[in-house]
A and B are shown apart, each in its own frame.
Chain A
């Protein structure tokens, strides 16, 4: 075999791998959507779940998923950015920094069920809150923070050195140059990180089982007082998310239409992640264009 044939063979191999992966993904998603799609009615999406009878919906779970996502990102993005800025711009090249970096890497690969147990100890028992939305959001923050710090650090480090030099040479203070030059330039990378983290929040079940719980009280969607116990906005209530719901109906559901509810929930979960990603990317690119003045 000469080198031209080897080149063709390599091309063929990589094309087949790509085709295989794509087919597998489309197959999976297609199957889930095909199975779940007939369930997707407005009633299913908005009505509360039922414990025994058929025909329950996923209204509260869907709301919980989004709400816990917002809460988690509220903690994760500022903390992750702060950590990333520290690691990229302030941390000296020494033992302490490399220890911190190792810790971040270990944390990033911690199994989510372990984080769930940690959350149970700290956010459920130690605080005495019981199973709460906020406990779940904090556990997910622990889950996401290492990745977010890492992504922010990488995004900031990949801003060309010249840009930073230019800002320093103009007489900017370090913080000012981070704020007005580095962060805007690193924005696309940070956004990607935030979107990936959000996807993980959406799909996460294990670390929520013992923190946000597997039940949701009957919610009154007319009551938006965050301190009221039946209000959807109350952060000190148990909050079963969609991913947790899929797990719980499959393992301990007493309803006769378990399969249908699970299929429908899975389809909604996928679609929600998809819509969220597209939306976040679109808004992100609008913002980025505005900052960089690119038409």
Chain B
């Protein structure tokens, strides 16, 4: 049985092209993203994987001289059409960045930030939301006694989990992670990986990674990008054991990249 037909697509990318000025960064990408799965995006540096993940919440629009064409369907709606409400899109499609980037505020204020701007104002409700988000990010026990101290005093791994808590505090549908562990030590990395596997119950996760073991451990599906093209995408087991394309095979075997 093919998983592909059984599950709902949350994103459906068709014929997507992205240019930075005259540089053709993504070429005719066709990729479905399934609900409640972890999709890993792998590929060597400069292959377009970060560009791709940034198109999913339209963060790419903040890059100068960027152009896009094709279809980027999120829940049946083409995000490349005019008049997409970025505020509500990003409430539904959250993003965690390469390096933990907490605001210079208290731990509590960092997590309460998203819910607050999306209209939550009752203290009780905020406190519950913050606690739940921190628990979901496996951070609650480490910070519960110092919620009102600066988030910048946390370790790198804690900061990254705080950023995940901050993102899931707004209850998004999708969580985009752009190399979330590349700046972390192995222990913090394994915590984030475990977290990603837990979170897919409630969220759809798209994770860019340059670490193939990570993709193999964490993801359900893997897409391999090379020089702006999507070479192959399939269930992770298949990509890592019997890929269709020799370039994929060479990359996952560590022969280049």
Residues of A within 8 A of B (CB): 93, 160, 162-163, 165-173, 176, 180-181, 184-185, 291-295
Contact = CB atoms under 8 A, between A and B. Distances in A.
Interface in B167-225: 167, 170
Interface stretch (B11-19, B73-81, B82-90, B129-137): B82-90
Contacts of B109: 293
Contacts, number: 81
Nearest to A172: B117
A186 to B, nearest CB: 10
A294 B150 contact: yes
Interface in B59-118: 59, 62, 64, 86-91, 94-95, 97, 99, 101-107, 109, 113-114, 117-118
11 contacts: A163-B103, A163-B104, A166-B101, A170-B91, A171-B89, A171-B117, A184-B104, A292-B104, A292-B152, A293-B105, A294-B153
A214 to B, nearest CB: 47
Contacts of B89: 171
B36 interface: no
B97 A166 contact: yes
Given A170-B113, A171-B86, A185 B104 contact: yes
A162 B101 contact: yes
Nearest to B88: A171
Contact of A165 (B59, B117, B148, B167): B59
Contact of A166 (B86, B103, B107): B103
B57 interface: yes
B114 to A, nearest CB: 5
Contact of A292 (B59, B105, B170): B105
Given A160-B101, A180-B113, 10 more contacts: A165-B62, A166-B101, A168-B62, A169-B90, A169-B94, A170-B91, A170-B117, A170-B166, A184-B105, A294-B152
Sorted nearest first, the 6 A-B pairs with minimum C-beta distance are A293-B106, A171-B90, A162-B101, A169-B95, A171-B91, A292-B104
A170 B57 CA distance: 10
Contacts of A291: 104-105
Nearest to A167: B103
A180 B94 CA distance: 19
B149 interface: yes
Nearest to B62: A168
Contacts of A171: 86-91, 114, 117-118, 170
Contacts of B95: 169
Contacts of A185: 103-104
Contacts of B152: 292, 294
B97 A170 contact: no
B148 to A, nearest CB: 6
B38 interface: no
A292 B102 CA distance: 11
A93 B151 CA distance: 34
Contact of B103 (A169, A173, A181, A294): A181
A173 B87 CA distance: 7
Contacts of A184: 103-105
A236 B118 CA distance: 47
A175 to B, nearest CB: 11
A168 B90 contact: yes
A163 B109 CA distance: 14
A170 B87 CA distance: 8
Contact of B150 (A160, A167, A168, A293): A293
B153 to A, nearest CB: 8
Contacts of B99: 162
A104 B80 CA distance: 39
Contacts of B88: 171
A165 B101 contact: yes
Given A166-B101, A168-B59, A295 B149 contact: yes
B230 interface: no
B149 A293 contact: yes
A210 B102 CA distance: 51
Contacts of A181: 103
A162 B88 CA distance: 21
Contacts of A160: 101
